[in-house]
Structure formats: structure tokens, C-alpha cells
Amino acid sequence: MHVSIPSPGFGTFKIPDDGTAEVSVREAIKAGYRHIDTATVYANEAGVGKAIAEFNRNDIFLTSKLWNTDRGYDSALRAFDKSLSLLGTDYLDLYLIHWPANRKQFGDKADSINAESWRALERLYREGRVKSIGLSNFEQHHIEALDWTAEIGPMVDQVELHPGFAQEELRSLCSSRGIVVEAWSPLRRGRAIDSPELSEMAARYGKTTAQIIIRWCIQLGTVPLVKSTHVERMIENLAVMDFELSDADISVINAFEGGRIFTAPDEAEF
């Protein structure tokens, strides 16, 4: 079945479930977002679900993620049920393994733990309880290790990607395998927007620096997930379909330096 992913998506990391997640997601959908990205570990699935319940469920592309403490076959199935129940829905559009089990924590067992989590996602997919299944923070060797046992290939890899960390090699691998790349922290958590090069481009295109970055993600072929709790920024971040960056400007942003802002998947101890 062909599934399309609305872009940009709306990110909900660090939006607390004290009413803020519900209000932000409601405002985001009203602003035009049709793709909401949450995760068990964000602890806001209940609020996200309340907001979504006010709209036609089929109009929203909803993602959640399996947390690291729920890896493995049975526990992944249980975690999925819990996410559905908190979200108040009977299906997800996308379910991801949030982080690969790595050798640092699990030694030789890492690959088989990931394989077992993946087997659970394949079952959920076959049962029609999730329309697409994928990975998050998986690098080339984690993806390739899944090949030994996977019967269904991953459809998405959601990874850190922003100016200064363009993920060229992983994008090319994913493209060769038909895996859609989603960009997390595309604005570098807000820190990427103060840059003289981006300000110059923003002035030239009549856009903001945030819009330049989001458009760059789209032109790289990725699906940016952008978070804001401010309605005017939600609207701003969505208004990126009426202009196109030149190849030269894309190359300038591709060459930014800075690297990751967060832990590398093989170094994670959580």
C-alpha cells in the first residue's frame, strides 16, 4: 500500500503534558499541519491524542516511537498497545524503533534485540494496526544488521539532521533502499537560525532563516519535523512551499560545520 507523509511534520519533543501538548497540537493542526510526531518517552501521548480527537483521524498522519526500555518482541507489542490507548486511536500511521540497541550497552546481543523489536513492528504492520514502520537513529550498520532477519524493509529512518549535520552518507544509503529520511531538530533546536549566511539568503528570498532551513531539508529529499509552541512560528515554519533554493545555496548550507548536537547512537547509554 502506498502511504504519503505530509511535510513538514510537527514535532512534540519537550512539549509537556500539562495541557500544553494538547493546545500546541490543536493549534498546529488548525495552522495546517497534517503530520504529528510524538513518542512514548515524550510523555505527552495523552495530550496529543486529546487534540487529535477533535479532528478527522484520517486527515492526520500520526507517529509514535518504541522507547528503549520496551525493546524486544513481547514488550514492543505491549508498548504499542499502551501508546494506542494513550493516544485514543486504533491505529498509527507510523511506528518507529526510537534508538537502536547498541554494542556499548548490549554487546553481541544488540543486533538480535533490534531484530526482535523489528519482528514485533512487522506483525503490527501485517495486522494493519500501523500503516508504516521504521527506525529512528539507526546508522548504516544498524540498518544492515536488520537485513539478516527482516521480512519487511524499514520505510523510514528519523535522524538528527540540520545545517552542520547534513547526513549525506546516510541519506544516500536510505535513498538507495527506498527509506524516507525524516529530519529531527532541523533548526538545531533553534540554534541554527542565527547565521550570517542564512540571514543573507533569507533577505534575498524574502523568507526567515527558519524557513530557509526547513526548505533546505525538503530539497534534500527529507521530511523535516519542526517543533514550536508559538502559533506564529507554526505558521511560519509551514510556509515553505512557495519558493525554491538554488543549487548554489543548497551547497552553501550543505557545507556548514558543527556536527551533532546530541549523543551518537553507538554512544548512547540510555
Ligand X SMILES: NC(=O)c1ccc[n+]([C@@H]2O[C@H](COP(=O)([O-])OP(=O)(O)OC[C@H]3O[C@@H](n4cnc5c(N)ncnc54)[C@H](OP(=O)(O)O)[C@@H]3O)[C@@H](O)[C@H]2O)c1
Alpha carbon distance 152, 115 (integer Å):
11
| Cβ-proximal residues to 42 (8 Å cutoff; 6+ apart), any chain | 12, 13, 14, 15, 21
Residue 109 in contact with ligand X, rule: CB under 6 A: no
User: Does 44 interact with ligand X (rule: CB under 6 A)?
Assistant: no
Closer of 1 and 238 to ligand X (Cβ): 238
Chain position whose Cβ is nearest to ligand X: 11
The stretch among 50-58, 82-90, 138-146, 223-231 that binds ligand X (CB under 6 A) is: 223-231
Neighbours of 83 (CB within 10 A): 24
Answer for the pair 1, 25: CB distance below 8 angstroms, yes or no.
no
- Which is nearer to ligand X, 89 or 158 (by Cβ)? 158
Of the residues 172, 230, 244, 254, which one makes contact with ligand X according to CB under 6 A: 230
Selected catalytic residue, list 42, 91, 95, 125:
42
Binding residue for ligand X (CB under 6 A) from 5, 23, 152, 193?
A: 193
Q: Which of 161, 164, 166, 169 has its CA nearest to residue 140?
A: 169
User: Least distance to ligand X from the beta carbon of 94, Å?
Assistant: 12
Residue 42 annotated in active site: yes
Q: Which residues pair with 184 in a beta bridge?
A: 160
Residue 117 binds to ligand X (criterion: CB under 6 A): no
Residue 163 near ligand X by CB under 6 A: no
Residues that bind ligand X (CB under 6 A): 11-13, 37, 98, 136-137, 158, 184-190, 193, 210, 225-230, 233, 236-237
Which residues does the annotation mark as catalytic?
42
